[in-house]
Structures are given as C-alpha cells and as structure tokens.
Structure 1
C-alpha cells in the first residue's frame, strides 16, 4: 500500500491531498470518487494499488499493473460557474509532467488533450469528468494513471493487448521512482494551478506549460469528429486559454478543436 505518511510529509498544500483515501483494489478510482464526492471535502484524493476496469476518453482501456504504478482521482469542487473539462485536462497534464520532473528529472511531452509520452510511448493519461449534471456541474474529478515502475516485459504485454507502445518512468529514467514523492509532487503542482483557477478563473500557467511541452505543436495530424469516419489533415498551431486545440486546415483556415469531440487518428511529422 502507499505510505500516506510519506505523501503527507512531502505535501505543501492547503486543499488538494489534505484528505487521502486509499484502497488495495478498486474497479476504478474514478468510480469510487464519483460515489463519495458528495460527502468528502474539496481536494480529496482517492488512491488504489490496482484497478480492474479503468476506462479513459471514448471508452479506451488503461492496462493496469498492481503495486507498481499510480492510480488516483482528485475531487475538485470549486465554487465557480465556468467549469470546463478541457481546462482541467491541461491542469492534470502539466501537474503530472511537473511532478515527474521534480521526482526524477525525466522530461515528458504532452499529447493533447490528455496523454503524457516519452519518445512517443505512452507513460500516463489524465481523464476529467464532471460531478453532477454537465449543464450544472458541482465539481470535477481528475483521474490519473501513471506507469511508474513497470518492467519492459510488462509494457510489451500492453502493446500485445492494445497495440499501442507504452513505457514507464523506471524504463525511461533508468531507475525506479519513489511513488509517494511523485504523488506529492503532482498534488503540489496541481494546487498551484487550482489556486489560479479559484482566484482568477484561468489556468494560464498550465496552458503555457502544455504549449511548451506539446508533442503535437507544428506537426500535422489527421483527426476526425467523434462519430464521424472522415479524416482531415490539420496542422497544429497552439492550445487556447480553454484548453482547446488551435489548428489550420489544408486551405489555411483556422479551427478550434474541443477535446470532447475530436479523435486524433494519426500523427506524422509536419
């Protein structure tokens, strides 16, 4: 199990992580967070050593490995009206990247809207969901899955199962990472972005970080609207203040792509 005292000793927050609930095994940390969100304080963190059914955007699966990785969901309940999941995708991505760098010096890239990669191999993923009705949300759950200390044979099994290349912090950095220190680093970083959102209703620092660490910037992608089969070639320009992707089509016309409606099918060099 995670050492909660070690996490607490590394925390420098007033909200996020002040309440931590951990489990040995869950269906998913998101499902548990959704179930308890009405009775727990803002910033509550749900941790689990394993998840039996972890789903990400559009129903994609995350293959879990017990006792080696990090699976957590953070419950945020800000008293504001402009909750946008794409903003918190950026908060989650920037917080994870910052936490990883602080813990072991590993530089990661962000594949918009919610994947963390090293050398085009997936290392982590973030998934944000509203609490309550999407028209009148009472909060948001930021769920994080990180391949922390998996061995090469375990990442190879992931590729065999879902045909997508994966890696872990241990493989990319060359040594195991202290999971408790990493969790605390992520939560410390998230608190700074959350404080900006609470005071200014912006996440400008997270936006700038995600632009700087983007794996797609100035690259050509092929993308489709959710539920559509038509692929279009687009050039990625930047990320806007709401966390949407700014692209230009083959005629040079600028478009804004929302994370909830866009599926990136293929990446290629521009």
Structure 2
C-alpha cells in the first residue's frame, strides 16, 4: 500500500490531493470516485493498488499489474461543464509528461487525446467524464511505473524499464498532483488555459505529420496533417482540401500509423 504521509509531504497544493482514499483492489478507481463523488471534497484522490475492470475511453481496457503501477482518479467539483473535458484531459496529460521529465529526464510524447508514449510505446492513459449528475468531473490516470517487462502485444512500457531502476511512486504522485493543480487552476479561472495548451503542443506526437482519421461508424479513412490543439483542447488539422479542420475525439478515430 502507499505511504500517504509520504505523498502528502511532496504536495504543495491547496485542493488536489488534500484528501486521499486508498484501496487494495477495486473494479476501477474511476467507478469508485463516481460512486463516492457526492460525499467527498473537491480534489479528493482515489488510489488503488490494482484494478480488475479498468475501462478507458471508447471501451478500451487497460491491463493492470498489482502493486507496481499507479491507478488513481481525481474528483473535480470546480468544473461542471463537459465542454471543458478536453482541457481536463490536456491538464492530466501535460502533468504526467512534465513530472516525468522533471524527475527522471525521460522525454514523453502525448498522443491526442489521452495517451502518453515513450519511443512509440504506451506508458499511460487517461479518462475523464462528467460525474455527480453534472456537478463535476472525474479524471482517471493509469501509469505504468514499476512494471518489469514490456507487453509487446500492447506496445507498453514502464518508467522502470526506461530508467532501469525502481521508481518511488509516492514522489511521482505528489509531483503529478502539484503540476495538475497548476493547470487546473488555469482551466477553471480562464476556461482557455493558454499556458497549458502551449506546453501541451510542445509535446504533441506527430506534430506536422500526417495521420489517418475515420468518423465513428464509417470505414473511409482520410489523411490529415496534425498541427496542434487549440485553446479549448480540440485537435487542429489540415484536411485533404488544404483547409483547417477541428477534430473532436468523440466523433473521430485517429489512426496514428506513420506514413
């Protein structure tokens, strides 16, 4: 189990992580956070050593390793608009990338909208959704930390594999939560988060490269050029007509095979 006193000692937040609840095993921290949303203060963090049913965005499943990785969800009550979900995702992604660079000098890339990769291998994935009958948002983070072997079929890696040493999970959690609160404050105060977006775009995978996109329920794949995310967290691309187009993760599947 986590040493919660250790995590608290690394925090310099006002809201995020001031209340932490941990479990040995859950179906998922995301579901648990939604179930206890009404009774918990803003910024509550739900931790678990293992998850048996970690379902990500669009039904994809995250393979969990007990006692090795980080599985946590954050209850956010200062945002209650699903229009801000892309920026909450961006805040989570950028917090992970910045924390890993600051602590371990490992360069990660963000695969929009919600995956973190190292050299093409998946390290982390996020999920966010409205909770509490629209009263707030749950952000869930799943990070491979001390997993010892790559899962080749899933193209997954871990910080331990990349750094070749054990990683202190409490330090990483504390650092991520500190960085997240900084981004979160910008989102709730401005609704645009220009500093967050600028930092995110510097870590965007396939910047200025072509990817395939297909509308959900369709089969036709279009080629587009990735530019950046905009001030609201949507992906900006140049389409086959040479026109700027804004993509929504809820409408489009992004195929990131390199050309």
Q: TM-score range by the shorter chain?
A: over 0.9
Please say which of residues 221-230 and 28-37 is displaced more in the overlay. Answer: 221-230
Aligned partners of 2:172 and 2:44: how far apart in 1? 17
Once the two structures are TM-superposed, the CA of residue 186 in structure 1 deviates from its matched residue by 0.4
Secondary structure in 2 matching 1:267: coil
1:130 paired with 2:120, answer: no
| Alpha-carbon offset, residue 126 of structure 1 | 0.9
**TM norm structure 2:** 0.96
1:61 maps to what in 2?
61
Partner of 1:182: 172
Q: Would you say the 8 A contact 1:103–1:177 is kept in 2?
A: no
The SS at the match of 2:256 is strand
210, 215, 224: which one pairs with 1:225?
A: 215
Structure 2 partner of 1:28: 28
Task: Report matched runs for 1:31-42 at 5 Å.
Answer: 31-42=31-42
Query: Structure 1 residue 10: deviation in Å?
Result: 0.4
Cα deviation 1:128-167 (Å, max 9, x = unaligned)? 111145xxx2111110000001112xx23xx3xxx33110
Q: Is 1:259–2:257 an aligned residue pair? A: no
Q: Which aligned pairs between 1:12-27 and structure 2 lie closer than 5 A?
A: 12-27=12-27
Q: Is the 8 A contact 2:96 2:176 kept in 1?
A: yes
Distance across 2 between alignment mates of 1:72 and 1:51 = 10
Asked if structure 1 preserves the Cα contact closer than 8 Å seen for 2:10 and 2:174, the reply is yes
Contact between 1:98 and 1:185, CA under 8 Å: does it hold in 2? no
TM-score between the two structures when normalised by the length of structure 1: 0.92
User: Could you say which residue in structure 2 is the equivalent of 1:140?
Assistant: 137
Q: Secondary structure of 1:268's partner?
A: coil
Q: Is the contact made by 1:11 and 1:185 (CA closer than 8 Å) also made in structure 2?
A: yes
Q: CA deviation at 1:261?
A: 1.7
1:164 aligned residue: 154
Q: Match of 1:84, SS?
A: helix
| Whole-angstrom distance in 2 between the partners of 1:132 and 1:247 | 34
| Distance in structure 2 (CA, Å) of the matches to 1:219 and 1:56 | 26
Contact conserved, 2:75 with 2:136, CA < 8 A, in 1?
A: yes
d(CA) in 1 for partners of 2:56 and 2:97? 18
CA RMSD of aligned residues (A): 1.4
Q: Give the length in aligned residue pairs.
A: 259
Is the 8 Å Cα contact of residues 34 and 132 (structure 2) preserved in structure 1? Answer: no
The corresponding residue for 1:212 is 202
Note if 1:203 corresponds to 2:193.
Answer: yes
SS in 2 for 1:217: coil
Shift of 1:82: 7.0
Q: For residue 11 of structure 1, what is the aligned residue in structure 2? A: 11
- Contact 1:233/1:249, CA 8 A, preserved across alignment: yes
Partner residue of 1:85? 85
Question: 1:81-118 deviations in whole A, cap 9, x for unaligned?
Answer: 57421111100100111122223221111010100000
Q: Which runs of 5+ in 1 are unaligned?
A: none
Shift of 1:79: 5.7
CA distance in 2, matches of 1:146, 1:139: 23
Q: Is the 8 A contact 2:125 2:141 kept in 1?
A: yes
SS at match of 1:96: helix
